[in-house]
Amino acid sequence: MRKYHALPVALLAALALTACQDGTGTKDEGAAHPDPASATVTATHPAADGDSGKGTGGATGTQGTTRATGTDGTSGATGTQPAKGDKEAKGDKAAKGTMATRVSCNGSNTTVTAQPVRRPLNHMLLTVKNTGSKMCDLTYYPVLRFDEMQWVPRPIKDSKPQAVTTLASGESGYAGVSLSAADGSGEWGTTGHKLTVGFQGRTPNSDGGPSALPTLPAKGVYYDSTLTVTYWLRDMDDALTY
């Protein structure tokens, strides 16, 4: 019987001795021995696992503080980003507004003249003046037709401008027409007495609106199979370069 009661007494003595060493009566394992390696990794790489909700204890609190006030989410950066977005949105809106106020140049809002020139030889100059109240775009190149001609003159590719020729009210654009080969190598030479100038829309070969019927000289204009035309240009001298 004495041996049966001796074991509990020894256990109680050992527990009392441990409590005295701690000073509180309870051993606080969590507070006394944190895992420094785990805490450091979590604070340095808060998004390493791709889930802001993962982690426990002090490590989770560190992640929340870093994202609220750190370089990835400061209130200053947050305030700057929307301001930039608003500026870009306003710029886009202004650009679209400018496009919306422009129309295609055609026979209804311009006057068109066709005048043969002495130099270069066998050339004619087309002049289009914007007589409307809105800015208009001269897109691509004029589509020419003399009398009942059944073919379309080719454009001179090297004359293509870097940007669309846009005319404000009262401004003019130009296109040069090479009527015939200077060395006589062209075929089907004939004289035209009526000229129709067609306009293209926003896409190639689309309808840009009413055509124009500029007056030709009384004797007509001679042309042959080498008939070509430049793109619409802003400068008259450039139009007569080709």
Q: Average pLDDT of 19-33?
A: 40
Specify the amino acid at residue 82. P
Kindly tell me if the per-residue pLDDT of 71 is higher than 70: no
Contact 193, 120 (CB under 8 A): no
pLDDT at res. 79: 41
Distances (CA, A) of 21 to 10, 13, 18, 24, 120: 17, 13, 5, 8, 111
pLDDT at res. 89: 42
pLDDT at res. 98: 63
pLDDT at res. 84: 42
pLDDT higher at 76 or 112: 112
**Maximum Cα–Cα distance for the chain, whole Å?**
145
CB neighbours of 131 closer than 8 A, spacing ≥ 6? 109, 110, 111, 169, 170
Q: Is 220 helix (H, G, I), strand (E, B) or coil?
A: coil
Q: Average pLDDT of 225-229?
A: 97
Kindly tell me if the per-residue pLDDT of 3 is higher than 60: no
Q: Which of 34-38, 100-104, 177-181 has the highest mean pLDDT?
A: 177-181
Instruction: Say what percent of the chain tops pLDDT 90.
Output: 57
Distances (CA, A) of 148 to 152, 191, 195: 11, 12, 9
pLDDT higher at 85 or 218: 218
Kindly tell me if the per-residue pLDDT of 61 is higher than 50: no
Phi-psi group of 188: left, alpha or beta (phi > 0 → left; psi -120 to 50 → alpha; rest → beta): left
Q: Average pLDDT of 39-53?
A: 36
Global confidence as pTM: 0.60
